[in-house]
Structure 1
Amino acid sequence: MKEVRVETAFDVAGLVGFRYRTDDYYEVGREKIREYARAVQDSHPVHRSESAAGAFGYAGLIAPTTFVSTAAMLANRRMSETVLIGYDVVVQTDQVFEMYKPVLAGDRLISDVELTSVRRIAGKDLLTITNTFLDHTGAVVQIMHTTVVGITGADIDAAARETIERVIMSGLDTSFRPPAAKDAVAAADPAPDTAAHLSQISRTRVPHTAFRFEDIAAGDEIPARTVRLTRGDLVNYAGVSGDVNPIHWHEGVAALAGLPDVIAHGMLTMGLGAGYLTEWLGDPGAMIRYGVRLSNYTVIETTSAATIEFTGRIKSVDPDTRTAIVVLVAKSGGRKIFGLATAEIRLA
């Protein structure tokens, strides 16, 4: 694949459609599922016990809702090293998970990665990257859409850049690599026919929920849950997930980035929110879509833990499909950290 060196201003909009398939599979590990469930404080037994998972009809441990973000961290490195090299920092703003099959221990996932859209808002680029995860049969397991804001060097203090280089984890490749030409990529990697490979197991299996569809109605409130986060939780999540951005554990870098202190990973707060919903729902595999727009951050001070309060209500129900839409609210330090957050669930 021929690479083209860009000498002028970086035009990421011209690279919409850049896509590739990962060279190797990601094997979902039994202990990795357990580690991730602990990291997002998800205590459902199907993430820890094969016998509990079997009682719910699963052939092995089922991964928490946001687990595939760990596989995406690896799958998206080529995107980071080609398309996103025009930015010094990318900040996550929106995340959507679409579930078609449960992710189980032992699954070998391949990811198709594509830059699906670029929008220019308030002088900054909003980029959406789509990961389509397929199993060994070629069936779609999960589709993940990640929207980030690209921030250029003009917005980053030189001292911050130097500090990051001193504290970032060893072994990460931060060297410059020019973007590949869009046409060359398209010719080498034909767009996958996702529709032809969709397997709707999560949308057709009988869910083992804690209640039936007839037991709920639009407007019903979900019992609140408060979770506690410490600096140790952030360090643990960084190691488990592979998201080692130092703003989540290094006060100096956080200050240089204009933050009041270190902040929780956006994906960590999303994982906590997903666990809150599936604990109430009873069956993690009954959630078929989960989307969150981040509107603020959770600050973790040195001297005290932070708390996040989750609440939810049923927005609408569909008797034909026995599904419902749930609206999720998350607050920390008196601020809403989620903008629009919704989940689509299936009920027995």
Structure 2
Amino acid sequence: MEILLPIAHTEINVIEVLILGIVVGVLSGMLGIGGGIILNPILIKMGIPSVVVVGTSISQMIGASLSGFLNYLKAGKVDTKMGKYVVIYGVIGGFIGVLLINYLKQSGDVKRFILLVYTVYLFLLGSFIFYESFKNKEKHEHKAPEFIKNLPLKKDFNVGQVSLIVPAGIGLLSGFLAAVMGIGGGNLVVPALMYLAGYDVVSAIAISVFQMVFITSFLSFLHSYFNHGVDIILGLILLIGSSFGAVFGSILGQKINRFYLKVFLAVLMLIVAAYSLKQFLSTKQKEIFNLVSDNFFANLLTNYPLVYSILVIVISLIVGYIISIITMRVKDHFMKKFLNKS
């Protein structure tokens, strides 16, 4: 079933992309990561403009993270004070990233830049997770290093006094990477809060999900308004596939030893880093992307970019929330079967 994406202006097979979304969703649910770090290099390889891949990837995370945001907030797991600082600095870092993508879009260098960032980021993060998995195989407690504890500008948070330099650095870097890579930032925010601020894993994830809803909404708007980089149809297909895939992935993840999951995650990141590097080295031509106004959504974005950009956020939130309710019921159904078999 072939369709022409309205903004990307690229033909895709809906079933193939849906299956890809499900597979990536299974992996993300099983490993506890955002699917963008796996999915986006593949979408770029499929011929979808890298500007659209990044912007659309961020937009589908709005709805995907909403239910988690509400659940953690209701349960009182979120240190909202820390979350607010991460969001504020994340907005600044994200804005810088969107402006950089806009500049590179005009010069035709977005694709090579994004692939290079993926290569470096995933290689460094994958190597760290692999090393840390074996070094701390039996260690579960995380304490902030001494030099971090001695930083100035301290404020009181749920874990005690933490320098504002910590959330500022985390927010700036995660927001920038989210803007240029099309990821939610959780792969950076969670370990950074654990190792630099001393949060336990549940609290770190809660803060990460909290900031993700605001950052992805903000960046989706900017990418759509300034870069014409959000394809609403592609985003909905990816949201549906990845959401249902994540249900089964989370169930699988509970049956596998965490140590082996972390090692598998590290190896997967290194594989995607190598895949991104191969694409980077083989990409010689500049990628020029111009919006073609030959359909309803493209015309809406061209003539009313503010309306289209807001519409993307609203639809992502509504559809994401509906899908999250459905997937939670599906998950509860399968979990009951799983527990009964156990």
TM range (shorter): under 0.3
- Greater relative contact order (Cα 8 A, min sep 6): structure 1 or 2? 2
Higher helix content, 1 or 2: 2
TM-score by length of 2: 0.22
TM-score by length of 1: 0.22
